[in-house]
Amino acid sequence: MARRYLPVAAFAGLIVAIQLATFFTGTAYHLTQLTMTAYYSLVTVGLCMLIGYAGQISLGHAGFFAIGGYVTAFLTTCNLKLHPGVLVSVLEKSGLLVARSDAYGGSLLTVHPWPACGVAILLAVVIAYLVGGPVLKLKGHYLAMATLGFGIIVYRMVLGTEFLGSADGISDVPGFPLLSGMLITGNSSARVSNYYLAWGLVILGMVLLLNLIHSRVGRALAAVHGAEDAAGAMGIPTARYKLNTFVLSAVFAALAGVLLTHYNGGIGPSEAGVMKSVRYVAIVAIGGMANLWGALSMSLVLNYLSLRGYFGTYDDAVFGVILILIMLFAPDGLLRRHILSDLKRAVSRNPAEEEAS
Amino acid sequence: MTLLSVRGISKRFGGLQAVSDLSFDVAAGSIKALIGPNGAGKTTIFNLISGFLPPDCGEIVFGGAEIHGMSSCEVAARGMVRTFQHIRLFPKMTVLENIMVGRHIHSRAGFLAGMLNLPFTWGEERRIREKSFEIMELLGIGAHAGTEAISLAYGQQRVVEVGRALACEPKLLLLDEPAAGLNMRETNEMGRLISRIREMGVTVLLVEHDMSLVMKISDEVVVVSYGEKIAEDRPLAIQKNREVIRVYLGDDA
């Protein structure tokens, strides 16, 4: 139990250390990209659960991220004053709407971010069940292609839908108010609190996933991954477990989409793009597939570098190259969990043992 | 009392009639063997009974309920658990973890309970662990609890697979060639283990090629050839059955 949470505490320490470092070096502006990195990391660790532990690939998770982001962006910016009706007045009376003014002083009546977030997550769950049900019957390349198809559909739909802003996306999304009076927003005055909030959510997500992989369900998922027919013969409902994990990872992606959209104040179709999905998979792969900490640390480093523009115009290409190199030379990821035991074995190996085997 | 009743099941793969109109019963508390030459359809019969394949026609009744058409996982939940001809242990998992998976149907922590690490799961996990250790001690593999299961010697992997099935506390255990790939000493141990499993109150149906093992431990033997039953009797009578001798040794024997 303690062994499970010790790395969590260490990671929390790292997050605090990074913030202190930016504070003392006067580089607090880095926290903006680091906060965005946190939300992308939420997608990555959820996807890591699906790929690494349940053994199912998805090349469409940017689609779930976009569903979350676009739904909340649309609902919190669509001015319902322009569409009066019975439904609007009922919603207004039940307190689900909020009145505010836009950048030009015009008055707006929109859905409050909390119910918008609820709708976004709910829609992601429903779509994940509808898509995952039939698609997860496929294996290997076929599953990869089917999920890729799903991602492309979402991308083309947001690109081609006028009320979702087509190629421009949706902007002027308000901040997301929390109970404590805090606001999820990109304003530089709220930089530090947003940094801690975002990484706090990642840590919470990590605790939930770490608990899961050490539970009865985690064991069953490992069994499904290792030998699906034998898992079925042990009474594990393999299809349902795969589907539940798919939906769980979709919820992580959609929640990240919702919160990052409020943080950035908008969302564009590039967030739904196929290259984003490839990027998430590449990070899970370089982290070592069945390694939540590997996925998280690689996400922290690579997303940060990417968002700071270190990869320049080759941004997407870098992640493609990473995926190819990892598959060729280190299919177990850069941060293999077995490195230590491999070293120990190499050191302790003696000729007599070698002969015996 | 009949635990399993197979009534007129058939299965066709394209042009091959793998199983045709096969019927037999397995009495509760007995050891029954299913034998036949290579390609006779024994493993297909196992797949049909355990829900891995749906039969084209016929009925399978287990513990009083019709189970044909159920999935393998539903069949397992009803208390019929199988092993595989080619060992199917879970890779990257220890012997203990492999056996703990066998406790799946006797525990209930789901996704939410697992993620939230709810208190009721702690006791459940402890009981899963205790029961698994109990089974490992029974089978004499307790010393390997922390070893990756697929790194064990072949004979021990078979024992782990049987242990994993026993962890399900099945009413009926289907063993698909439990002695395949074992040496003579290991085969004898496997025979003793199967007898002990029966003494624990578990009914056993096995497919096996090792005739001396089959004759030694079985109460009854079913012989199949080209998907059809050609004999069903006690081991001694089977050994003298002319038809059985003919399919095994040819017409001139």
Answer yes or no: is A342 within a domain.
no
Give the CATH H-level superfamily of domain B1-79+171-253: P-loop containing nucleotide triphosphate hydrolases (3.40.50.300)
Number of domains in chain A: 1
Separation CA B170–CA B129 (nearest Å): 18
For CATH 3.40.50.300, the residue range(s) in chain B are 1-79+171-253
A6 inside domain: no
**Per-residue confidence (pLDDT) for residue B60, from 0 to 100:** 97
Chain A residues with CB inside 8 Å of B43's CB?
A: none
- The pLDDT score that the predictor gives to residue B196 is 94
Q: Please report whether residue A355 resides in a domain.
A: no
Query: What is the reported pLDDT for A331?
Result: 78
Residue A174 lies in a domain: yes
Q: What is the end-to-end Cα distance of chain A in Å, rounded?
A: 36
Residue type, B137: E
Chain B residues close to A218, C-beta within 8 Å: 114
Q: Which amino acid is at A203?
A: I
Sites in chain B below the pLDDT cut of 70: 251-253
Distance from CA of A113 to the nearest CA of B (A): 25
Q: How many CB pairs under 8 A join A and B?
A: 100
Quick check: B50 and A244 CB within 8 A?
Answer: no
Q: What is the reported pLDDT for A300?
A: 96
Buried (b) or exposed (e) across A273-291, using 16+ Cβ within 10 A?
A: bbbbbbbbbbbbbbbbbbb
Which amino acid belongs to residue B178?
Answer: P
Q: Where are the beta strands (DSSP E) in chain A?
A: 97-101, 107-111, 170-171, 176-177, 183-184, 266-267
Amino acid code (one letter) for A29: Y
Query: Within an 8 Å CB–CB cutoff, is residue B100 touching chain A?
Result: yes
Answer yes or no: is A356 within a domain.
no
CA-based nearest residue to A225, from B88, B42, B15, B223? B88
Residue with tokens 């950048």: A103
Strands lying side by side in the sheet with B172-176:
B80-82, B172-176, B203-207, B31-35, B220-225, B228-233
CB A226 within 8 A of CB A40: no
Determine the distance in angstroms separating the CA of A218 from the nearest CA of chain B, rounded to an integer: 8
Q: What is the pLDDT of residue B144?
A: 94
Q: Is residue A163 assigned to a domain?
A: yes
Asked whether residue A274 is assigned to any structural domain, the reply reads yes
Integer-rounded Cα Rg, in Å, for chain B is 19
User: For testing the chain B interface, which of A209, A213, A215 should be mutated: the one with the most B CBs within 10 Å?
Assistant: A215
Contact B92/A at CB under 8 A: yes
Chain A residues in contact with B89 (beta carbon < 8 A):
227, 230
- DSSP structure string for B219-241: SEEEEEETTEEEEEE-HHHHHH-
Stretches in chain A below the pLDDT threshold 50:
350-357
Residue with tokens 């069953």: A220
> Of B105, B107, B111, which has the smallest distance from its Cβ to A212's Cβ?
B111
Subunit contact B107:A216, Cβ cutoff 8 A: yes
Residue A264 lies in a domain: yes
Q: How far is A240 from chain B (nearest CA, A)?
A: 11
How high is the ipTM of this complex?
Answer: 0.92
